[in-house]
Structure 1
């Protein structure tokens, strides 16, 4: 009950709470028998049952966190859902299989302390979505309307509201920081430079930008090399350990195999690659080999990359 109330940002029990908690308990046995949850803890199964029950409650009330998410997502992207094409028989104010499949995807992405990317079209996920849909459909007409809607439980609203800014352009006549001016002169006007190791970058900064050793970027995190330095109107951005993902004829550190296997992490791991640099790379088509680590992962990523970045990067999406 406490967890259920927290999902509504309230402490007082309403007349409908007992019905929905009873429904969630019935749903757990179905979740427990699914191949998707054979290795999950009981707490994880309870969490899945709670979110799917919140979905039912929101559909019945035509309000709450689910409807808020769909409204904001549609306003942002023009579609009802990420990943899934809504079928012709899709009814926004009722339960739908693709809705349930998406909710299961959000659950599959959750780990104890972090998020990991899951396959939205995983066979067990789609099978369980169909089973849950049938179960919810049996109870839809019986379910009571809750007058106090659920809170954001799909995704924080601010992450969908936040606007994606344009990649900062260097235009003729614009006033640039001195370090950026010197960088562009040394790079023949190129905004990106790649350094296999920290010592190479250190030499460049000292010899071409006239920095002192004490002023150099912190070596912490850059000792493994593969550094990208990105010059833009804001200044110089240093990103260690990601140059191997940038397919650029000037980049000797590029590793297509590593990009295929690990490159998706620039969209899913907080702090892995600065978002301004990610946007620049996307706009200039420098990530041709990056894909998600499952079937059709390339199409799924590039049809949904901005949403995926919002969902996984959190405050690092368009962060300061």
Structure 2
């Protein structure tokens, strides 16, 4: 495993981050067997992965609890591990059940700490932008968590660049803890963030940890133009259908050709492209099996030339759709 610093911080993270959204019973396609989830986490640790990302809303806390139990059982040095979670989504019906108010942020941080079984969260992230709460209120709450020692760093996820810059500016003006990282959808066929938040991250020294690095499985090569596929997630849902474009199929063809030439898998080539991208610190992989995890880890061994990268990137011209930042 390779390691890098998150943005311009001194925090060292593994080049692959294990995403834990699949752990729990919130959706039929998730891993309902906790022992299977624990096995994936254990293997990640064996491979040298020290960076783990979850969220309170993933299966309404189940994912956090599964991760916390697995890390406790593994008995690893806590100082080597980087545990990240998120806040924003609905956790209960009724008032104050969601959002980024001071009340919800502080209540959910306490609940996440308990489920994770840890004394502190390394990276606490706002899952989305909250239009109902002043950003200064959210920043103040996050700042107090850092002051109390419950949180080490704060990060953000999925928003238009102008909103993210608004948050960074407010933190600078009011001397609040500054966001150090951005989670955004980024992969070979979803490159809209190149026209949105990624230039800002580069300018401001923000660490980038892309989610959906394999485009929901599209870049693994399991989908075909003729409609054939092998997936636990329906290929007819909107999340996947938006990817079935001529440009994306062309990218996938080139991924397959480069993979075949290197005796690699399409997933490894796709992840290697991200790992060769200067702005990216650690793609968030979400394997459901140990075999998938080991395949993902093989991306670290793939060396792409500049001509390979240009060939993979050529079919798509990145463009920003403002609606994307508000999903």
Q: State TM-score, norm by structure 1.
A: 0.24
Rg larger in 1 or in 2?
1
Which structure shows the bigger proportion of residues in strand conformation? Answer: 2
**Quick one: higher RCO (CA 8 Å, sep 6+), 1 or 2?**
2
Q: TM-score, normalised by structure 2?
A: 0.24
